[in-house]
Structures are given as C-alpha cells and as structure tokens.
Amino acid sequence: MSLDLALSIARSGLAAVQRQLSVASQNVANADTAGYTKKSIAQAAMTVTDMPAGVRTADQQRSVDTALVNRMQSAGAAAAAATVRETLLTGVEQAHGATGSGDSLAEAVSGLQSAFIALRATPADAGEQRSVLDAAATLANRLNGISSAIGTARQQAQDGLVAEVDSANAALKEIAALTLQLRSGTARDAAALEDRRDQALARLSESLDVTVLRKSDGDITIVARGGIVLPLDPKHDVLSIGEATVAPEFYYGSGGTLPGVMLNGIDITGQMKGGRIGEYLNLRDDTLPRFQAETDLMAATLAERFAAQGLTLFTDADGSVPATGTAYAAGSQLGFAGRIRVNPAITATPSLLRDGTNGISGSPFGASDFAPNPSDGPASFTTLLDRVLDFSFTGNAAAGVTWPGIAGTGLGPDGSLASPFAAPASVTAYADRVTTEQTSERALATAARESATTLQDSLRARFDAQSGVDVDAEMSGLVQLQNSFAANARVVSTLQSMWDSLLGAVR
C-alpha cells in the first residue's frame, strides 16, 4: 500500500469521524426538542481494484418505525375527537342538573308531581297552589336550559368545524411544501425535513383521521379514513366550509341550510371521519339534534298530557300546545323545549290548578270527559287533581287506555334520527331515561378520551425508546468517536513523519 493511499484512507476516516461527531452532538443538543428523532450516519468501506480506499459516509438517517408513527397519529385522532365530544357534552350534562341534588330534569318532574299530591290534600290552599306553580316553572326553566345548552353546543360544533378546517389546510400546505423539498432530492438535511413533516402530519391527524402512505422518493399519499385522498397543494387551501348560525330547525343535507365540508368544490362531508372534524360533524348533525328532539318530545308530551286532562299548564309562546301526533320534523314540537312556559292564565289565577282550564270531550282512545269546576263550585274540588295524578304523569290516558307511545324515530330537523332506547310510557320515566342517556354520553366520551390518551402515551413511549435520543448512549458514543479520531490523527501524523523521512533520504 502506498503512502499516498494510506494517507487518503486516514483522511477519509477523520472526515467520517468528524461527521459522526457532529451528528452525535446534534442529537444531544436536541434531546428535548419536540418532534426531533435520533439521527445516524451509515458508513461503508470503499475499495478500488480490490484495494482498500477508505470509508464513505451517507446522508443522515432517522431511526423511525413508520408503522408505529401511523398508529400514533391514529391514536392522536381518537384522543382529539373524544376530547371535543367530552368538552361539548359537558355543558349539556350540567344543564340537566346533578342527579341527587333535586334539580335534575327527572327530579323536576317528580317535584311537580309531589307538589300536585300536596295540593290534592288541600285543593283551595293558596300556598300549595303557589308551590305547584313554582314547581312547574322550575321544570319549564330546566327544559329551557337544556335546550339552550344543546343549541350552544351545536353552535360550538359549527364554529369548531370552521376553525378545524383552517387548521387542516395549514397543515396540508406545510406538508405539501416539505414533500416538494424532499422529492426534489436537493434538501441539505432531508432527515430534519421528515421530522418537520411528521409533526405537521400529527397536527393534521388530530383534525382528521388519516392514513399516510410513504414512498421511497420522499413522496406521500394522505388518505382520510372515509377513503378520500387529500391533495397536497403548498399554495392553496383544499378544504373549505362556510360559517353559519345554528338553530334547532337547521340541518345539513338535502333541503338543509348548514354547510358541508368541501374538497376543491366537492362536498365530502360524508367521508370526513375521525379527528376533531369528524366529531364536530357528528355532534352538529347527529348527537345534538337527537338530544334536542328528545328534550322537545319530553316538553311537548308533558304539555299535551296535562292539557288532555283539562289543565293547560304548559304552553308555547303563543299559548298553543304542540300536538305529538304529528311528525316531529314537520310539527310545532321542534324546538319546543326552548319555548315551553307556564300558562300565564294560570299564573294570574292559580285556582285554575284546582278547577281546570278547559273541558274535554272524551275519547275511547284517550282521556275521558271532563268539565272544569265552575266559579261557584266547591273549594274541595279534586276531580282535576285526580286526573292529573292518575294520568298526566303515568302511561295511561284513562282507566285501561294507554297513551300513544313517545316517538323514538323520525327525530331531528330532517326526520332522519332515532333514539338509541325504547321510550317509556310515562313522562316521569321518559324524563329519567332522557337524563340518563344524555348525561351518560359525556361519561362515555370521558372514558374514550382516557383510553385513547393511555394508548397514545404508550405508543409515544415506544416511539421515544426507538427513535428518541438516549443522551447516555450518545455520550458513550462520543467517547468512542474521540478515540477513533485520535487514532486516525496519529496515523496521519505517522504517515507525515514517514513522508518527511523519505523525502530527507532522497535529498
């Protein structure tokens, strides 16, 4: 081996060690940098005509399991969706009131029933009549509050959609720009660009559950869970959704007024699954409209069953009582929980609670005949109070005659939704079931968030173990590299001495 070749080999060794020292130092310096992954440099021995020619180093490489990264992103999407659901449903749960505190919807119904029982004992007692009015107002206010909370949550879902689509567009544009640099093959630090792209993909996956297909040339394909391929455009937004004000009668779809998510002008709302966008859509268009319908049916059934016995205790703002026999989406039941109030006529004349507000022509399929107590009638009149206690709160309209069932299908402003439970016959049981079902949705969301977060943390720990920087290992490697550098430097020094001796001998 010639001295020239030996010197060249030693110089290549010094250069390789210098690059590895630089990468190791970079790893240590960025050990706590979010999104940074451990970098390494592969090296290979070079030969020329079967003779050793030194060492060659490649570009920086990442130690990343892409399958694990995809699983982390999917877990992030699930955690983000569950967090959104938990947050928005918390307001609805609070509006229902805490069970056991005496102010939940079901307890408000029971409170009204108890007030009527007390009035039945002394029908002419003004104090007991006032107690019934107070209980009725409490129940109406509870229904108003639940309806308002549902409406607020739906508006938050709509506003959240707009903000989340903007976030997704920003992430997609960043991903597109980084992908173009990686595909060009001219990036000075491709590994660092891939770190940045993975961070942008993680942000995108929180907005929308996606699967990322990676190619060897640095290109990627992003597929939303609903099967839509998301285009990468570094200069333009590809997703859009309009702003809107939400009301109980508004909905998305044919004939509706709520906007959908558009992809370059094409409606892809039905394919938007997972992540915050998917959950906001689910809440706006499914869960919360169903909650509204169930609450409206509770209010409408309550008002109708009282009026059917001869006591129009609850009315709409115009004094009417919704008819539950008509389709929910087409009738005055829609949004009624937000408008229900105690009949002003009874507030002005509380004795109507004893005497009744309207006569009833009986039906074999409904309530029996009733005539109100005349103005000069007995103060101990209990006929109406018996009818209310025996039939308004129960599953029967009259002795041996059941009330028509409370609707469980055809719900929502477009009639496309259904309750996940069979409606009980009595308003007391239905109120209890609605409270239980709607408040349990928040508890389920919390459990889903905790489960998704636990999985996310577990996957993150595995990722950090595989791809994160182990400072102790890097410091140990630095010592070895320093020793290697010193050894190669000594070779160079020795070769230099040999050259000097050789040149001296020639002279």
Alpha helix positions (H), 35-65: none
**How far, in Å, CA of 192 to CA of 231, rounded?**
23
* CB of 468 closer than 8 Å to CB of 30: no
Give this prediction's pTM. Answer: 0.86
pLDDT in 10s for each residue of the chain, 507 residues: 455 555 566 666 666 666 666 667 766 776 677 777 766 666 655 566 666 655 565 566 677 888 898 899 999 999 999 999 999 999 999 999 876 667 789 899 999 999 999 999 999 999 999 999 999 999 999 999 999 999 999 999 999 999 999 999 999 999 999 999 988 877 678 888 888 999 999 999 999 999 999 888 889 999 998 889 999 999 999 999 999 999 999 999 999 999 999 998 899 999 999 999 999 999 999 999 999 999 999 999 999 999 999 999 999 999 999 999 899 998 899 999 999 999 999 999 999 999 999 999 988 889 999 999 998 899 999 999 999 999 999 999 999 999 999 999 999 999 999 999 999 999 999 999 999 999 999 999 999 999 999 999 999 888 888 876 656 665 666 556 565 666 666 666 665 676 566 666 766
* Long-range contacts of residues 448-451, Cβ cutoff 8 Å, at least 24 apart: 448/78, 448/82, 448/85, 448/86, 449/79, 449/82, 449/83, 449/85, 449/86
DSSP letter for 269, please: G
- Comparing C-alpha atoms, which of 489, 469, 491 is closest to residue 481? 489
- Comparing C-alpha atoms, which of 335, 284, 341, 293 is closest to residue 317? 341
- Comparing C-alpha atoms, which of 138, 80, 502, 482 is closest to residue 302? 138
Rounded to the nearest angstrom, the gap between the alpha carbon of residue 185 and the centroid of all alpha carbons in its chain is: 39
Structure-token pair, residue 62: 């990442």
Rounded to the nearest angstrom, the gap between the alpha carbon of residue 154 and the centroid of all alpha carbons in its chain is: 12
**How far, in Å, CA of 272 to CA of 228, rounded?**
8
**How far, in Å, CA of 398 to CA of 363, rounded?**
9
Which residue ranges make up each domain of the chain?
3-61+471-506, 69-454
pLDDT of residue 142: 96
- Comparing C-alpha atoms, which of 63, 14, 15 is closest to residue 36? 63
pLDDT of residue 362: 87
Cβ atoms within 10 Å, residue 82: 21
Q: Residue 287 region, left (φ>0) first, then alpha (ψ -120 to 50), else beta?
A: alpha
pLDDT of residue 51: 62
